[in-house]
Chain A
Amino acid sequence: MIQEIVAGFSMGCIYALAGFGFVLVYNAVGAVNFAHGELVMFGGYFGYAFSTHLGIPLWLAFATSLLAMAILGILFNQVAYLPIRNRPVSTVIIASIGMSILLRNSALAIWGPDPLKLNSFLGDGAINIGGIVFLRHQLLIFAVTAFVFTGQSLFFSRTAIGRKLQATAQDQEAAKLMGIKVTRMINLTFILAALLATIAGFLVAPLWFLDPEVGLAIIVKAFIAIVIGGFGSIPGLVVGGIFLGLTEVLVASHLTSEYKDVISFFILITVLMVMPQGFFGEKIAEKV
């Protein structure tokens, strides 16, 4: 049971990290970026390309990947968001679906269909504590998740740039009036999302391996975690992710796993019916 809980927590943290960039962008500009899963995947792919093909040490590959992803984030913003930022929500979503297809198939063309391995910073080993196996990589995931999520609340409330981003997210018009350069903030948000995607990619890839379809799997799980947690809420994201991770693992372990995904979905639907705004979401306006 405990082993499953460890796995569930670790999966949950991955979902939360993967979804973080997505939530940031959504909070800032109201845009749902369906291609965020592919961004996480590209973070991992860049890591693979730099560390395996260039043979550079992993931390350097990480740094270069961050740079590459920042550029990708800017390109993404310029090509697929800025031109349509004032359009209806659905348009932006469809454009992001188009980007998702484009990125997924680009990955296929560049790296081929075979699953690839990105090494973990802490290597492949495991630690045994009282009969429970903890992968060193899982410990890394827990640490990074804790760091990122406590860090982000400090970042947004204590730093100048963080507060500006926060202000832009809450009310673009008011922010503009206060002299904040909104377009620059939007660019920055996309870059930040891309950087977070890189971190998520480096953490996901050693466990999930890299193949062109991984992006889709990531975004679906992250989306579920986000909704369960309360759309737009960052603490909700972590709680939602962990809830999803635990549900999946415990169901697979203790119930007939042929229908495990059906059961997991039913659990999620029930949660939503009982708490339509998710765990931490804002209450939706009462329907009359």
Chain B
Amino acid sequence: MNNFFKNLSHFALVLCLFFIFATTGLAEVKVGVISSQTSSLAILGQRQINAAILAAEEWNEKGGINGTKIRLIIEDSADKTTTAVTALDRVLGKNVCAILGPIYSFQLFAMFPEVKKEKIPMLSTSGTRKLTQMDNRWYFRTYPHDGITKRAYTLYAVEELKSKKPALMSVTTEYGKSGHEIITNILKAKGIAPVAETWHEKADKDMTGQLMRVKRSDPDIIISQAHPSDTAIILKQQRDLGINVPHMASSAASMPSVHKLVGEAMEGVYVETVTLPNFDPDPNIRAWTKKYIEKFKKKPDSFALLYYDTANFLFEAIKSVGPDRTKIRDWLETTRYKGLAGQYKFDQEHNGAFFAIIVQYHIKDGKAVPELKKKYDFTPN
């Protein structure tokens, strides 16, 4: 009889241990990832999702966060506000503790009310200035905003390249328009007025009209802001039309896919960007880039690198304070983080990154190679 009870209690103990083991195995840290898997915005969106996956896998290989695995809940926000909002719903429905969000401000604006209501931290690598002026304490921007990147390249054009007669070519999206405003304000403060200003739609395929207008105004530099496809077309057509004016392009011009399209016309082009993962001499960044290419068979861009830093910053937060939304927010507000691309520290508005670089490209052996011209760091102390 005693034996029987002894066996039973052993069995019960093992059963208990089994359940405890099983449920800790089932417990996961859930983090939402909302970005564009489809639509024309997938050029940037897919790379960011990949970066988040890479970060999570690295943590999970080492056992996760404090022993619990990370599970990313990935949803496609495509290119509409409605898809972004329903993606947010789906992610929230899985009880995530924080969200890595999409780049595009028009989607973020629509998501803000729900994010505030749900009191969940959301981070993204977006440049649009207004995002951190919406009185949303739950949104964190881990990317230098337009004011910083555009300031860097306008200052470079005026101070280093001594431009007095710039021509501006801008795209009509949020990116182009808010940038245009910032640039013209900085120029005005320096007493300079652009000699020509042209606009184009993101999907436009011919810039001859705009370029001829620019040519007629006899500028000493062309400052452009555009997305990947249109940047490529502008640079190539400028070269084709024989317009020999220095060109200062926005960060899309640092993407390897754009270089493949532009070819020889990249020679001499200045580009503002935040980082250059494919060229940075820093051994950690080189290792990261190599790993990214091996895993995803695609070259990363600076948005991917910063998203990776963002994911890690978030995972560190969860490691310190657990998957508690308010505690994560508080921790993020008060902590400095050193990522691969640079230092992150959030100011009052929740802007977290303040660095930018200007590079110039040269063609070497048929490839576009960047030369670092100047680093700008506007990080407040």
A residues in contact (CB < 8 Å) with B: 3-4, 7-8, 11, 105, 108, 112-117, 124, 126, 128, 133, 135, 207-209, 211-213, 217, 248-254, 257-258, 260-261
Knowing A105-B38, A114-B43, A258-B172 touch, does A252 contact B210 (C-beta < 8 A)?
yes
Knowing A252-B213, A257-B213 touch, does A11 contact B206 (C-beta < 8 A)?
yes
Q: Is the CB of B206 within 8 A of A115?
A: no
Contacts of A112 in B (CB 8 A): 42, 46, 298
Q: Is the CB of B257 within 8 A of A115?
A: yes
Contacts of A253 in B (CB 8 A): 208-210, 212-213
Q: List 28 A-B contacts (CB under 8 A).
A: A3-B212, A4-B209, A7-B208, A7-B209, A105-B38, A108-B38, A112-B42, A113-B46, A115-B43, A115-B229, A115-B257, A117-B260, A133-B241, A207-B205, A208-B205, A208-B233, A209-B232, A211-B40, A211-B229, A248-B209, A252-B210, A253-B209, A253-B210, A253-B213, A254-B213, A257-B199, A260-B199, A261-B201
Name B241's closest neighbour in chain A (CB-CB): A133
Confirm or deny: B369 has a beta carbon within 8 angstroms of a beta carbon on chain A: no
Knowing A113-B40, A133-B242 touch, does A257 contact B209 (C-beta < 8 A)?
yes
Contacts of B26 in A (CB 8 A): none
Q: Mark B225-261, 1 if CB is under 8 A from A, else 0.
A: 0001100110000001110000000000000011011
A214 to B207 Cα, complex, angstroms: 16
Dominant SS among interface residues on chain B: helix
With contacts A7-B206, A116-B257, A257-B210 known, what are 15 further pairs, Cβ within 8 A? Answer: A3-B208, A4-B208, A7-B208, A7-B209, A11-B206, A108-B38, A115-B43, A115-B257, A115-B261, A126-B240, A211-B40, A213-B203, A217-B203, A253-B213, A254-B213
A252 to B207 Cα, complex, angstroms: 8
A4 to B240 Cα, complex, angstroms: 13
- The residue from A4, A124, A135, A251 contacting B263, defined by CB atoms under 8 A apart: A124
Contacts of B207 in A (CB 8 A): 252
A258 to B209 Cα, complex, angstroms: 12
**In the complex, what's the smallest C-beta–C-beta distance from B218 to chain A, in angstroms?**
15
Confirm or deny: B119 has a beta carbon within 8 angstroms of a beta carbon on chain A: no
Q: Is the CB of A113 within 8 A of B42?
A: yes
A117 to B260 Cα, complex, angstroms: 7
Contacts of B257 in A (CB 8 A): 114-116
Contacts of A260 in B (CB 8 A): 199, 209
Q: Is the CB of B209 within 8 A of A209?
A: no
A208 to B261 Cα, complex, angstroms: 10
Contacts of A135 in B (CB 8 A): 240
- The residue from A105, A116, A248, A254 contacting B206, defined by CB atoms under 8 A apart: A248
Please provide the 5 A-B residue pairs with the shortest distance between their CB atoms, ordered closest to farther: A252-B209, A7-B208, A253-B209, A113-B42, A114-B257
Q: Mark B200-223, 1 if CB is under 8 A from A, else 0.
A: 110101111110110000000000
Contacts of A128 in B (CB 8 A): 242
A273 to B210 Cα, complex, angstroms: 29
Confirm or deny: B83 has a beta carbon within 8 angstroms of a beta carbon on chain A: no
Confirm or deny: B198 has a beta carbon within 8 angstroms of a beta carbon on chain A: yes
Q: Is the CB of A257 within 8 A of B198?
A: yes
Dominant SS among interface residues on chain A: helix
Knowing A112-B298, A117-B261, A133-B240 touch, does A217 contact B205 (C-beta < 8 A)?
yes
Name B196's closest neighbour in chain A (CB-CB): A257
Q: Is the CB of A3 within 8 A of B241?
A: yes
**In the complex, what's the smallest C-beta–C-beta distance from A107 to chain B, in angstroms?**
11
Name A220's closest neighbour in chain B (CB-CB): B203
Contacts of A252 in B (CB 8 A): 198, 200, 207-210, 213
- The residue from B42, B228, B258 contacting A108, defined by CB atoms under 8 A apart: B42
Q: Categorize the interface residue count of chain B.
A: 35 or more
Contacts of A105 in B (CB 8 A): 38
Knowing A4-B209, A257-B199 touch, does A209 contact B42 (C-beta < 8 A)?
no
Q: Is the CB of A115 within 8 A of B232?
A: yes
Name B256's closest neighbour in chain A (CB-CB): A114
Contacts of A248 in B (CB 8 A): 206, 209
**In the complex, what's the smallest C-beta–C-beta distance from B277 to chain A, in angstroms?**
16
A7 to B207 Cα, complex, angstroms: 9
Knowing A112-B298, A248-B209, A257-B213 touch, does A212 contact B40 (C-beta < 8 A)?
yes
Q: Mark B174-199, 1 if CB is under 8 A from A, else 0.
A: 00000000000000000000000011
A3 to B207 Cα, complex, angstroms: 12
Contacts of B39 in A (CB 8 A): 213
A3 to B215 Cα, complex, angstroms: 11
Contacts of A213 in B (CB 8 A): 39-40, 203
Contacts of B198 in A (CB 8 A): 252, 257
A192 to B38 Cα, complex, angstroms: 31
**Contacting residues of chain B (141-173) with chain A, CB-CB under 8 angstroms:** 172
A117 to B256 Cα, complex, angstroms: 12
Interface centre among A4, A115, A254, A260 (most CB of B within 10 A): A115
Contacts of A4 in B (CB 8 A): 208-209, 212
Q: Is the CB of B209 within 8 A of A113?
A: no
A212 to B37 Cα, complex, angstroms: 13
Name B170's closest neighbour in chain A (CB-CB): A258
- The residue from A126, A209, A254 contacting B229, defined by CB atoms under 8 A apart: A209
Contacts of B233 in A (CB 8 A): 208-209
Contacts of B40 in A (CB 8 A): 113, 211-213
Contacts of A258 in B (CB 8 A): 172, 199
Q: Is the CB of B212 within 8 A of A257?
A: no
A126 to B238 Cα, complex, angstroms: 12
Contacts of A251 in B (CB 8 A): 209
Contacts of B45 in A (CB 8 A): 113
**In the complex, what's the smallest C-beta–C-beta distance from A206 to chain B, in angstroms?**
10
Contacts of B258 in A (CB 8 A): 115
Contacts of A217 in B (CB 8 A): 203, 205
**In the complex, what's the smallest C-beta–C-beta distance from A9 to chain B, in angstroms?**
11
